[in-house]
Amino acid sequence: MKRRRRRRPDPVLVVGSVALDTVVTPAGAVADALGGSAVYFSCACRLFAPVRMVGIVGRDFPEEHLRLLNRLGADLSGLERCGGPTFRWTGSYLNDLNEAQTLAVHLNVMAGYVPKVPDACRSSRFVFLANTDPDVQLAVLDCLKKPAFVACDTINHWIATKPEGVAELIRRTDALIVNDGEARLLTGGKNLIAAGKELLRRGPKVIIIKKGEHGAILLTERSFFAIPAYPVESVVDPTGAGDSFAGGFMGYLAATGDTSLPALRRAVACGAVVASFTVEGFSVNCLCSLTQKDVAKRLRFLRQSCGF
Amino acid sequence: MKRRRRRRPDPVLVVGSVALDTVVTPAGAVADALGGSAVYFSCACRLFAPVRMVGIVGRDFPEEHLRLLNRLGADLSGLERCGGPTFRWTGSYLNDLNEAQTLAVHLNVMAGYVPKVPDACRSSRFVFLANTDPDVQLAVLDCLKKPAFVACDTINHWIATKPEGVAELIRRTDALIVNDGEARLLTGGKNLIAAGKELLRRGPKVIIIKKGEHGAILLTERSFFAIPAYPVESVVDPTGAGDSFAGGFMGYLAATGDTSLPALRRAVACGAVVASFTVEGFSVNCLCSLTQKDVAKRLRFLRQSCGF
């Protein structure tokens, strides 16, 4: 990160879920643990740039989680709190560490939730629209004032049930960050390179395809970049890897204010490294104790692992 | 390859199969096409170093294939020719381009075949033992005179049916080159990094795990290297990708006489690049028309695709 310019990092706006997760993996299980896309994103992003979180929790949301997010420096002015119970997700990785099996979803306060982006956050230059109903993502996009760089995520459920909404979302964002299965479903093709190129033709200048243990690839109109995953020997819980990848990626871009190709590559590396910590523990346990020094050490390792 | 020393490349000895393959993929089909591990290996290796092929064919083996192998410079003094029909393999990739479904195997002249390594070839310094019965691979190993670097391959069938033979083979070779599924079956673990480290403890100084479209990783006691696959948009036929990877890898080492870590990394890159050509056509169609210039171009591309 030696080429990072000395400047005040832009804050990054993330709109996503705040959840209480119950997860079982070959390494163990947790119940009602802190989770959700906006949480994982924020815990990763804050290592590089300040983060503004927009989401909703219920009255049952533990105060200790709010204290943790505050302590990590997240701006929670966009975090609504209302009457019902908090969004809950229950998943298992017992069959396959690369893919969650959803056992239960309780939308609770998320049912019908329309994110309210505080006025002060609408001029955020760097924005991440985490996975949710594409119509909601588009509504958020509509209320932004001239963002410099917007990235979004989506999942198979929305690709299958709201293809037009997803298509418009993709057309209007600068970067699409999806996993390999989503890239294949979006394009109907099996070859990831061809899928990435097809997605580029649909609008975004930047396509990032995350491949779990196989790393990630970055495609732009004129370039191709591939990075391996940091070699984690013992994956405890993959939940949140994708959102923390996005957090590291967007955080690096906002910290440098640079979206050139070399910066995009370094941002992908930051995302890969942060995600490697996420999977080494349940919930945000590893992520929230992480320092810039830890990230820098793995970035160096990853850089040395690629050259020939 | 600028660091390659100016020297006469060592010849590489390969012991493996020569086959007539019938293959169907989403891109089409071929019947009785030139194939086999020793053939793919040789067509790749000859781009870097001379190759000596030990194997067996039947009387029905087309003269044009022999002429092709001769034209590519392969030393065929170890290629036996006998009465029965040539070894035949029939496979399909219609369900999954990453994994062949074997539809039929006719061993024919390969049944009970014990490779006879010509005296002049026994002092080869660089040797590749392609997949076959581990007892046969060990017998070949026994007749070699002080090889400098021996690499071997194996498959699920032998890992499951002759585990002791495979274990002894692995213990006695310098490099094990397997795919991800084989690495997992050999170790009983799902995590590839942990599997690679476990395999290192079983003897070889070098473990290479091939991951198809996701590239390959190289592990030694003190280092980790990962390379993406060259981004091929249209895979025609994956048959022989692994053996041509091994051919590029061993060819580069023999050409330079260098088995240091930087050389091993460059050799893996050569293997990855050569394999990327293999899959772009049926049989050895793309491989046999390849030049060093083609390889150098993709090596440059791959190098530029990795840095950050």
Residue-level pLDDT at A190: 85
Q: Which of B210, B298, B299, B308 to mutate to test the interface with A (most CBs of A within 10 A)?
A: B308
Is the backbone of residue A267 left (phi > 0), alpha (psi -120 to 50) or beta? alpha
For residues B286 and B181, give the distance between their C-alpha atoms in angstroms, rounded to a whole number: 26
Q: Specify the pTM.
A: 0.94
In terms of residue numbers, what domain contains B221? Answer: 12-302
Does residue B163 fall inside a structural domain? yes
State which residue of chain A sits closest to B26, comparing Cα positions: A190
Residue-level pLDDT at B98: 85
For residues B209 and B181, give the distance between their C-alpha atoms in angstroms, rounded to a whole number: 9
For residues A57 and B223, give the distance between their C-alpha atoms in angstroms, rounded to a whole number: 45
CB contact (8 A) between residue B307 and residue A306: yes
pLDDT class for B194, splitting at 50, 70, 90? Answer: very high
State which residue of chain B sits closest to A97, comparing Cα positions: B190
* CATH number of the domain where residue A138 is located: 3.40.1190.20
| Ranges of chain A with pLDDT below 70 | 1-6
For residues A232 and A89, give the distance between their C-alpha atoms in angstroms, rounded to a whole number: 25
| Contacting residues for B50 by C-beta, under 8 A, at least 6 apart | B9, B11, B12, B73, B75
Is B94 exposed, middle or buried, given 0-12, 13-18 or 19+ CB atoms closer than 10 A?
exposed
Residue-level pLDDT at B8: 86
Q: Mean pLDDT, to the nearest integer, of B108-120?
A: 95
pLDDT digits (tens, 9 = 90+) for B237-246: 999 999 999 9
List helix spans (H) across chain B.
Answer: 37-45, 63-71, 134-142, 156-161, 163-172, 180-187, 192-200, 241-256, 261-278, 292-304
Does residue A117 fall inside a structural domain? yes
Cβ(B225)–Cβ(A308) below 8 Å = yes
How far away is chain B from the Cα of A248, in angstroms, using its nearest Cα?
15
pLDDT digits (tens, 9 = 90+) for B36-68: 999 999 999 999 999 999 999 999 999 999 999
For residues B213 and A198, give the distance between their C-alpha atoms in angstroms, rounded to a whole number: 18
How many domains does chain B divide into?
Answer: 1
Does residue A163 fall inside a structural domain? yes
State which residue of chain A sits closest to B219, comparing Cα positions: A305
Q: Which of A151, A161, A282, A285 is nearest to A218 (CA)?
A: A151
Shortest CB distance from A307 goes to which of B193, B215, B307?
Answer: B307
Q: Which of B133, B114, B128, B101 is nearest to B24 (CA)?
A: B101
Share of chain B above pLDDT 70, in %: 98
Does residue A252 fall inside a structural domain? yes
Other C-beta atoms closer than 10 Å to the C-beta of A180 total 20
| Structure letter (DSSP) for residue B291 | -
Residue B4 has pLDDT above 70, yes or no: no
Q: Mean pLDDT, to the nearest integer, of B73-79?
A: 97
For residues B205 and A201, give the distance between their C-alpha atoms in angstroms, rounded to a whole number: 45
pLDDT digits (tens, 9 = 90+) for B268-277: 999 999 999 9
- In SS3 terms, chain A reads as CCCCCCCCCCCEEEECCCEEEEEEECCEEEEEEEECHHHHHHHHHCCCCCEEEEEEEECCCCHHHHHHHHHCCCEEEEEEEECCCCCEEEEECCCCCCCCEEEEEECHHHCCCCCCCCHHHCCCCEEEECCCCHHHHHHHHHHCCCCCEEEECCCHHHHHHCHHHHHHHHHHCCEEEEEHHHHHHHHCCCCHHHHHHHHHCCCCCEEEEECHHHCEEEEECCEEEEECCCCCCCCCCCCCHHHHHHHHHHHHHHHHCCCCHHHHHHHHHHHHHHHHHHCCCCCCCCHHHCCHHHHHHHHHHHHHHHCC
CB contact (8 A) between residue A228 and residue B215: yes
| Chain A residues with a Cβ under 8 Å from any Cβ in chain B | 97, 190-194, 197, 211, 213-215, 217, 224-228, 231-235, 262, 265-266, 268-269, 301, 303, 305-308
Residue B3 has pLDDT above 70, yes or no: no
| Chain B residues with a Cβ under 8 Å from any Cβ in chain A | 97, 190-194, 197, 211, 213-215, 217, 224-228, 231-235, 262, 265-266, 268-269, 301, 303, 305-308
For residues B153 and B175, give the distance between their C-alpha atoms in angstroms, rounded to a whole number: 9
Q: What is the gyration radius of the CA atoms in chain B, in angstroms?
A: 18
Does residue B4 fall inside a structural domain? no
Shortest CB distance from B191 goes to which of A233, A262, A268?
Answer: A233
Strand partners, A216: A210, A227
Does residue B308 fall inside a structural domain? no
3-state helix, strand, coil in chain B (%, to 5): 40, 25, 35
Does residue B307 fall inside a structural domain? no
Does residue A124 fall inside a structural domain? yes
